[in-house]
Amino acid sequence: MIKDRIAVFDSGLGGLTAVRELFSVLPRENIVYFGDTARVPYGTRSVDLIRRFARQDLEFLLQYEPKAVLVACGTMSAVALEDLRTMTDVPVIGVVSPAAQAAAKATRNGKIGILGTAATIQSGAYEAEIRSLRPVEVISRSCPLFVPLVENGYVGRESIAYSVALDYTALLREAGVDTVILGCTHYPLLRPLLGEIFGENVVLVDSGREGALELANVLYRQNLQTQKPFATEHLYFVTDEVDHFTQLAGMFLNSNLEGKVRKVEIG
Ligand code: DGL
């Protein structure tokens, strides 16, 4: 098999925020996506367990001989990236560093908010990365209910997600942040709602999108772009029931995934 696929993975649907961006910036590339829907959420679990899950996820994807890997999950990027890099020689890109760079560049008043899972916020990974770039004030908040809400399709203004989001964002709004990192790749699915709550003067940095842009840069710099004129096949794997994912993912990617999502067992 020629190494000509990009592997993307997450605990569930969230990594599709990166896939959507890859479709737009690298439309000729074939993507193999893995979402560990049977074990989502990861962000409330211990670092050891997240690392174990992450290794199993990548091990599964390495069968497809990817030429590059995008860890499209803030949680795994925050606590398992170095570990994952030891498993393969191909570039393994996370979302933390690219999103931190985008936020450090975007802030005007030097106040950056970070929303992420419990494990991500506890790791301090975004904060450390931002502070290595610029001396800024960082206000972090973990949002454990966001991932289950997104996985169940509660993302609209009229849904229960709205009142949860008002609560999770209160500290950041009071602090007057002008830039907020959506540090979990599920959160951009709540973007319309969060955009309304923060208002148009606050820049929302999409970690999935920034990770995808970084991956595109790496392919370009390492001359790994495909020679094919167009993408021929995208593969989607999940570890739990296919229908739910097919429906939500299809809606989100704006494409019909009927019959294209397969269930697998790992670990
Ligand atoms: N999309 C994952 C992230 O970026 C969600 C983690 C979870 O499953 O809790 O952190």
Half-sphere exposure at residue 201, Cβ-oriented, CA atoms within 13 angstroms? 7
Catalytic residues: 73, 184
Structure tokens at 73: 């999950």
Tens-binned pLDDT, residue by residue, of the chain (267 aa): 568 999 999 999 999 999 999 999 999 999 999 999 999 999 999 999 999 999 999 999 999 999 999 999 999 999 999 999 999 999 999 999 999 999 999 999 999 999 999 999 999 999 999 999 999 999 999 999 999 999 888 998 889 999 999 999 999 999 999 999 999 999 999 999 999 999 999 999 999 999 999 999 999 999 999 999 999 999 999 999 999 999 989 888 988 899 999 999 997
Neighbouring CB atoms inside 10 A of 89's CB total 6
Instruction: Say what the pLDDT of residue 1 is.
Output: 54
* Gap between the Cα atoms of 61 and 248, Å rounded: 22
Fold of the domain built from segment(s) 96-207: Rossmann fold (3.40.50)
Taking the CA of residue 11 as reference, the ligand 1 atom at the shortest distance is 8
Please say whether the beta carbons of 149 and 160 come within 8 A: yes
Same fold for the domain at 5-95+210-263 and the one at 96-207?
Answer: yes
* CA-based nearest residue to 103, from 176, 214, 215, 183: 183
- Ligand 1: which atom is nearest the Cα of residue 10? 1
Check pocket membership of 40 for ligand 1, CB cut-off 6 A. Answer: yes
pTM for this model (two decimals): 0.96
Whether domain 5-95+210-263 has CATH 3.40.50.1860: yes
pLDDT at 7: 98
CA distances from 81 to 53, 54, 55, 101, 104 (A): 12, 9, 10, 17, 21
Residue 253 pairs with which residues in a beta bridge? none
Of 113, 95, 86, the closest CA to residue 9 belongs to: 95
> What is the rounded distance in angstroms from the CA atom of residue 133 to the CA atom of residue 55?
29
**Does ligand 1 come within 6 angstroms of the Cβ of 146?**
no
pLDDT of residue 173: 98
Instruction: For 95-121, give the DSSP string.
Output: SHHHHHHHHHHH-SSSEEEEEE-HHHH
Instruction: List the domain boundaries for the chain.
Output: 5-95+210-263, 96-207
Burial status of residue 62 (CB atoms within 10 A of its CB: 0-12, 13-18, 19 or more): middle
The pair phi, psi for residue 263, each rounded to 5°, is -95, 135
Alpha-carbon distance 85 to 88, whole Å? 6
Distance of CA 63 from the midpoint of ligand 1 (Å): 23
CA-44 nearest atom, ligand 1: 9
